[in-house]
Amino acid sequence: MTDTRLIHTVGTGALEWLHAHRAGFRLEEDVDPEVGFLERFKPVGELAVICKVLFREGVAGSRQTQLARQLLDHAWAHTLDGGRMLVHGQRLEPFSPVPFEVYLPFKELGYSHPGIEQTFRFNHRLESYAAHELSPVRRLGLSAFQRRFGLPPQPPESEVVGRTWLGRTPEPWTVEGHLAYDITHTVFHLTDWGEEPGGLPTPLADYLATWLPAWLDDWLDLRRWDLLGELLAVDACLPRPTLDERAWEGLAAAQQPDGAVPAVRTMPDDEDPDELFDLVYHPTLVAAFASTLATSRALTRLTHAPA
């Protein structure tokens, strides 16, 4: 079994890096309209989701908890300007689901902006919103977020899951990179990011228990750390996580002394701090997420182990 300390250390290092580079969570108001103002909201939303997991699992030390809280305060107060940037973004693209997706985890963590909630509620009454042609996994995520916000999920998650790639349990040897991300996100949405492992229907949990080891092996060999981190998080969402030793050791070895995790192979040699942040923040955030979940599962296993 993998050393729990090793798993935990990956997360503490990642959080230190994210905190030290929190200025990278930034919006660009004069962005090229072709790119879109909402493009830079994604990292902020992901940060909130992961910090929520960190608070929830209760395996973070006091320093980690403090860093996470400061990161969230920074993202809410500075990056999102207390929610005003979400309002601004929603005015630029009134029917985009992105502001809603970014807002929800903040709301669950105690940050709120009542004005924008009214816009969300309006959008969710639109037929256009339900008809929006999203990929099934994205639709599943939106339905999950609607449920968590207290709105009726349209359509219900149980209707969407069968349309996702994972929901059809296809031939495991056809999985390529983009499909693998669809798989990981289907699991995250169904389990509320690891909170409810029971949310994963048994046939899907069995399917993943069977084939995840093959995918972990593959993406470890390819040194695709971002995807490997997500797959390790999926492992920790399963009823019986394997906490795959080789994969965790590989991810830990790829992590830099300052806590950054490269997305693929080795660290990019970009000297522009913003560009470096954009290349590295996601795998580092994913490492913090996977580490928190896996540490929690390892400790649970210890408490349930025979004396």
Partner 1 sequence: MERSGTSTPLADAVQGLTLELVSALRSGGPFRLAGSVTGADGPDTTDGPGLAAVRVVGADAVLPSVLRRTSPDPDDLAVFSRAVHAYPPAENASPASVWSHWAMQRTLLRLGASFDGTSRHEAEPRATWLDDAPWQSLTHQLAVLAPLATPGADCAVARVARGRPVDVARGFVRAVRRRDWLQAAGAGRWLVLLDGVPETLGLLTGLEFVAQMGGDDPRVALQVEAARLMRAGVLV
Is residue 171 within the footprint of partner 1 (CB under 8 A)? yes
Q: Tell me which of 61, 156, 162, 170 binds partner 1, using CB under 8 A.
A: 170
- Long-range contacts (CB closer than 8 Å, 24 or more residues apart) made by 52-56: 52/105, 52/108, 52/109, 52/193, 53/193, 53/194, 53/195, 53/289, 53/292, 53/293, 54/15, 54/288, 54/292, 55/109, 56/195
Nearer Cβ to partner 1 (127/171):
171
> What residues from 22 to 81 belong to the interface with partner 1 (CB under 8 A)?
none
Question: Whole-angstrom distance between the N-terminal and C-terminal Cα of the chain?
Answer: 17
Determine, following the binding rule CB under 8 A, whether residue 175 of this chain makes contact with partner 1.
yes
In the list 169, 201, 279, 299, the residue contacting partner 1 (rule: CB under 8 A) is 169
With respect to partner 1, which residue has the nearer C-beta, 181 or 211? 211
Q: Kindly state the smallest distance separating residue 88's Cβ from partner 1, in Å.
A: 44
14 contacts 268 by C-beta, under 8 angstroms = no
Site pattern 117..156 for partner 1 (x: CB under 8 A): ----------------------------------------
Q: Which of 30, 33, 173, 257 binds partner 1 (CB under 8 A)?
A: 173
Nearer to partner 1, 31 or 214 (CB): 214
Of residues 201-230, which lie at the interface with partner 1 (CB under 8 A)?
A: 207, 210-211, 213-215, 217-218, 221
> Measured from the CB atom, is 65 or 169 closer to partner 1?
169
User: Quick one: which of 204, 246, 207 has its CA closest to 228?
Assistant: 246
Q: What sign does the dihedral 4-9-14-16 (CA atoms) show?
A: positive
Residues 70-89 close enough to bind partner 1 by CB under 8 A: none
In 3D, which of 53, 70, 60 has the Cα closest to residue 11? Answer: 60
SS (H, E, C) 175-232: CCHHHHHHHHHHHHHHCCCCCCHHHCCHHHHHHHHHHHHHHHHHHHHCCCHHHHHHHH
**Residue 165 sits in the site that holds partner 1 (CB under 8 A):** no
Residue 46 · residue 53 · CB < 8 Å: no
By C-beta, is 37 or 207 nearer to partner 1? 207
| Residues engaged in binding partner 1 (CB under 8 A) | 169-173, 175, 207, 210-211, 213-215, 217-218, 221
